[in-house]
Each structure stands twice: as C-alpha cells, then as structure tokens.
C-alpha cells in the first residue's frame, strides 16, 4: 500500500487497479478526503467514460509519454422529451448506449452544446431514462432536435483550489465526428479554479480546445503541447486574471493558437512556440481583445499561422485590450495566399487577405512593442505577411522601441489610425 500522501493507480502493481477514469477518480476522491496529496497514474492507456474530476490540494501525476487518457466511445441520441432546468434526468430516444458513470453533455440540433465544458454524470439508467448525479442548468428542446452526447473534457475542474495536472497525454479525438462538429469543449477544462498548475501535458484531437479555463485566477500552463484540436490551442477564458502560459508548443489547431478571451488581465505569455494554427477557420497565432489589459507577451516564436501573427480584436474603448507589453518576440511568415482564404472573407481584403505580423483594430491604446523581430523571409508569391504592423482607425498611443522589421511586400507599416499620439518613428 502507498503512503498516506500518495496513491498509485494502474493496470497492475498499484494501490488501485484499473484502466479507466473510475479508478483514477477513486484515488482522487480518497486523497481529497485525506486533505491532499498525490495521485500517481502509472504508465498505460486509460479509457475515459466520464471526466476525471480534479480535487483541491491534490496533484494528479503521470508519465507524459506513457500515461495516456483516451476518450471512450461516443454515444449520441436525440431527446425524446425536453430536458429542463432543475431536472436530474434526461430522456433520449435511444438509451441503449448510455451507462452509469458516463459523462454527458446536451446540445442543440446542430450539435452546439452549452454544457460542453460542464458535463453531467449518469448515476443510473432505468426504463430508458438517464438519471443524473446533478441538476441540468439549461433548457433543451426535443422538438427542435436537441440531443445528448457522451463527449466531455477528459480532465475537468470546477471550484477547485491548488490542483495540479502533471505528465499526461490526452487523446480527446472521438471515434466519430457525427453530430460533434459544432461541439466546443476542451481536453482540459477548469472553471472557478484558483492557483492551479497544468504542466507536461499533451492535449490533442479535441472537438474544442486543447486546454481551456474560465472564471479562474492564478492558473499556470507550462511545458505543454496542444495540437490538432478543432478550435483553440490554449484558451484562457472569460475573466481569468493572473494567467501564465510559458514554454508551450501550440500548433496545427483549427482556430487561434493562443486565444485570450474576455478579461484576461495581468498575465504572462512567454517563451511559447505558436505556429501553423488557424487553418480551419482562417485565424491567428495569438488573439487578444475584450478587456485583456496589462499583459506581457514576451519571447514567443509566432510563425506560419493562417492569418495574422498577433491580432488585437475590434473593441470599444471601454472594452479594449489596453496597456499590453509585447517584448522580444519573433513574429514571421504568417498569412495565407488569397486562394486559401475562405471566399466569404475575401470581401474584406484589408482585414482578411493582407495579413500582418501585428494587426491592431478597435479603440485600442497604450501598447508598447520592444525589441521584437518581425519579418517575412519567404520570397515571391509565398511572401504573404503583407505588413509588419497594421493600425486601424481608433488605435492610439502605440509605442515602438528597438524592433527589427524586414522584408514585407506591403511595407513595414500600414497606418489607418492617423493618430498623432503614436510613436512610430523607427518605421518611418
């Protein structure tokens, strides 16, 4: 038997024997009952029929290359009856594939799921009804074709403090994409989490984001890889101050590689490699916008993303991404040829086709760019990072200091702001 402060889980020679999320959850719950400690998941492949739910003051530790959590078979059915707020049951047309312990989310007829990141758990199945451990918090409608599906975050946390995930490969790819394309979850999802650490994790294949957290504070993501996810690579979600993302490899995700959502403030985003993102939706390496203020973006290598390297989204003055420091990054070779831009977006050439290293829109002000390298090294028609900087109308108090800018086919700067408050002399 392990020590009082550590429990091992594995297919053999472990304190708790098993190869699925239920064995891991048993250990997490036991360690939480003891007041905290470490759950060590031994090398092996573990099938998740429901999310692994983190507990406060418990470290979940594996061997990154050898400890693999995989999504279990995805079961999907339309609703036979409406699933109402406050109910603890769901009635599908076909309950045959669902079982006790399974995690489920409810979505509309197009597959969009308001609970994609907050899954429910089936306590039992009786007479074609899924009885849940918790209450439904959304009204879902059977007549419009809404459905229930067993797709969920592989690792989930809600109202958790001081939890750690260290050393896992998360394979969130479903066995079928049928009805899931509009689903938006996360291989890891945290909500109302505080002082949590995610490190040495590979998150791939999620119908949603690789790593996502919202309404959380002091979350650190370090030395992780997010790749081949349907939406964002790493997504610090709404009102998650004091976020740190560092030394991560973020690549080949369908939308923005690093997406700062709403109210991500006073964070550090440093030493990341962010490349080949946005191919599905024609998006950016890094996207920042709504109330994302007082952040430091430093020493990242941002390259060969589908649209802009770093994009400041359109916002009003009250909601703008102000007072951010962008320092010592290498931003190069971003953008796509016009024939790779979705036809509907070609109607906005300045914003969608003429891609830039740094693209700033909205009523955005007080940005400082120090000692960055922004360049286009490709030649001829392959050189599609059109400008180093683009400033749209409403942008002001942008300060450039010691940046190295070179070889853009459209020139170093396109300035539609015409603001006298900008300090752009080094590009003149």
Which tokens go with 262?
């709403």
Instruction: List, for residues 129-139, the tens digit of each pLDDT value.
Output: 999 999 998 88
* Closest by Cα among 303, 251, 296, 240 to 277: 251
Q: How, if at all, do strands 120-126 and 129-132 pair?
A: antiparallel
Instruction: List, for residues 235-285, the tens digit of each pLDDT value.
Output: 999 999 999 999 999 999 999 999 999 999 999 999 999 999 999 999 999
Per-residue pLDDT at 261: 96
Chain position carrying tokens 């890891």: 188
The answer, yes or no, to whether residue 110 has pLDDT greater than 90, is no
Which tokens go with 207?
């119908």
Which tokens go with 31?
């360690």
> Mean of the pLDDT values across residues 47-62?
98
How far apart are the C-alpha atoms of 294 and 322, rounded to whole Å? 7
The answer, yes or no, to whether residue 115 has pLDDT greater than 70, is no
Do 6-70+152-427 and 75-150 come out as alike in CATH topology? Answer: no
Per-residue pLDDT at 177: 85
Share of the chain above pLDDT 90, in %: 91
Side-chain half-sphere exposure of 411, counting CA atoms within 13 A? 6
Asked whether 253 and 203 are in contact (CB, 8 A), the reply is no
| Number of residues that this document lists for the chain | 428
> Mean of the pLDDT values across residues 346-350?
95
pLDDT category at 185 given cuts 50, 70, 90 is confident
What class, spelled out in words, does domain 6-70+152-427 have in CATH? mainly beta
Per-residue pLDDT at 182: 78
What distance lies between CA 306 and its chain's CA centroid?
17
> Where do the domains of the chain lie?
6-70+152-427, 75-150
End-to-end CA distance of the chain: 70
CB atoms inside a 10 Å sphere around CB 253: 33
Residues 6+ apart with CB under 8 A from 228: 204, 205, 252, 253
Distances in whole angstroms, Cα of residue 359 to Cα of each of 26, 83, 155, 335: 48, 44, 34, 12
pLDDT category at 92 given cuts 50, 70, 90 is very high
How far apart are the C-alpha atoms of 331 and 56, rounded to whole Å? 38
CB atoms inside a 10 Å sphere around CB 418: 10
Instruction: List, for residues 287-327, the tens digit of each pLDDT value.
Output: 999 999 999 999 999 999 999 999 999 999 999 999 999 99
Per-residue pLDDT at 183: 83
* Closest by Cα among 400, 394, 233 to 306: 233
The answer, yes or no, to whether residue 37 has pLDDT greater than 60, is yes
Does domain 75-150 bear CATH number 1.10.287?
Answer: no
How far apart are the C-alpha atoms of 375 and 378, rounded to whole Å? 9
Average pLDDT over all residues of the chain:
95
Residues 6+ apart with CB under 8 A from 192: 158, 159, 160, 215, 216
Per-residue pLDDT at 249: 99
CB atoms inside a 10 Å sphere around CB 261: 21
The answer, yes or no, to whether residue 113 has pLDDT greater than 80, is no
How far apart are the C-alpha atoms of 135 and 86, rounded to whole Å? 5
The answer, yes or no, to whether residue 96 has pLDDT greater than 60, is yes
Per-residue pLDDT at 4: 77
Higher pLDDT, 3 or 196: 196
From the number of C-beta atoms within 10 Å of its C-beta (0-12, 13-18, 19+), residue 217 rates as middle
Distances in whole angstroms, Cα of residue 26 to Cα of each of 6, 151, 171: 13, 21, 21
Share of the chain above pLDDT 70, in %: 98
CB atoms inside a 10 Å sphere around CB 383: 16
Q: What is the DSSP letter of 146?
A: -
Per-residue pLDDT at 301: 99
Per-residue pLDDT at 108: 80
């Amino acid at each position: 038997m392990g020590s009082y402060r550590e429990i091992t889980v594995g297919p053999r020679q472990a304190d708790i024997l098993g190869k699925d999320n239920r064995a891991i959850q048993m250990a997490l719950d036991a360690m939480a009952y003891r007041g905290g400690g470490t759950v060590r998941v031994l090398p092996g492949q573990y099938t998740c029929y429901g999310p692994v739910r983190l507990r406060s003051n418990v470290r979940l530790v594996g061997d990154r290359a050898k400890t693999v959590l995989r999504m279990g078979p995805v079961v999907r059915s339309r609703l036979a009856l409406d699933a109402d707020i406050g109910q603890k049951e769901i009635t599908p047309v076909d309950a045959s594939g669902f079982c006790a312990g399974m995690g489920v989310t409810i979505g509309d007829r197009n597959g969009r799921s308001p609970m994609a990141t907050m899954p429910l758990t089936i306590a039992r199945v009786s007479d074609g009804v899924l009885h849940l451990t918790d209450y439904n918090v959304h009204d879902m409608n059977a007549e419009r074709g809404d459905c229930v599906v067993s797709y969920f975050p592989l690792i989930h946390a809600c109202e958790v403090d001081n939890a750690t995930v260290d050393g896992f490969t998360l394979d969130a790819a479903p066995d079928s994409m049928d009805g899931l394309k509009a689903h938006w979850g996360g291989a890891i999802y945290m909500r109302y989490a505080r002082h949590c650490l995610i490190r040495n994790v590979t998150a791939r294949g999620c119908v949603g984001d690789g790593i996502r957290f919202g309404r959380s504070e002091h979350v650190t993501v370090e030395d992780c890889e997010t790749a081949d996810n349907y939406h964002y690579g790493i997504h610090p979600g709404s009102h998650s101050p004091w976020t740190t993302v560092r030394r991560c490899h973020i690549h080949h995700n369908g939308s923005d590689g690093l997406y700062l959502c709403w109210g991500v403030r006073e964070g550090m985003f440093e030493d990341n490699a962010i490349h080949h993102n946005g191919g599905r939706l024609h998006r950016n390496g890094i996207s920042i916008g709504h109330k994302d203020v007082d952040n430091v973006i430093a020493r990242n290598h941002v390259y060969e993303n589908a649209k802009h390297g770093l994009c400041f989204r359109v916002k009003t003055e009250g909601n703008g991404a102000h007072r951010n420091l962008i320092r010592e990054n290498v931003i190069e070779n971003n953008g796509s040829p016009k024939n790779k831009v979705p036809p509907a977006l070609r109607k906005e050439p300045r914003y969608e086709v003429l891609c830039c290293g740094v693209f700033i829109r909205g009523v955005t002000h007080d940005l400082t760019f120090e000692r960055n390298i922004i360049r286009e090294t490709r030649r001829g028609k392959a050189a599609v990072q059109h400008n180093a900087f683009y400033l749209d109308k409403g942008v002001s108090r942008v300060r450039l200091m010691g940046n190295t800018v070179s070889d853009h086919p459209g020139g170093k700067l396109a300035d539609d702001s015409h603001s006298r408050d900008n300090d752009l002399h080094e590009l003149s």
